[in-house]
């Protein structure tokens, strides 16, 4: 069962993820314009960062719960 406390936590995490995705997208635009990185290199960097964040979500949840 999902309690109301969990719903709030899920909403907070969803907001954090949405904010990170938006920041990543804006960073992508800047990096492509300002640097000599190719599109695929920048996308690879952002995908790796996204995976690191996703792998850390369970740790964040356990940290908040304790």
- Structure confidence at residue 1 (pLDDT): 59
At residue 2 the predicted structure's pLDDT band, cuts being 50, 70 and 90, is low
Domains in the chain: boundaries = 4-65
Mean pLDDT of the chain, nearest integer: 77
Could you tell me the two tokens for 52? 């690191």
CA 64 to chain centre: 17
2-31 average pLDDT score? 78
């Amino acid at each position: 069962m999902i309690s109301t406390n969990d719903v709030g936590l899920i909403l907070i995490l969803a907001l954090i993820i949405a904010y990170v995705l938006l920041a990543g997208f804006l960073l992508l635009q800047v990096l492509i314009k300002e640097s000599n990185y190719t599109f695929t290199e920048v996308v690879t960097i952002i995908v790796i960062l996204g995976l690191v964040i996703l792998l850390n979500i369970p740790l964040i949840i356990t940290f908040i719960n304790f």
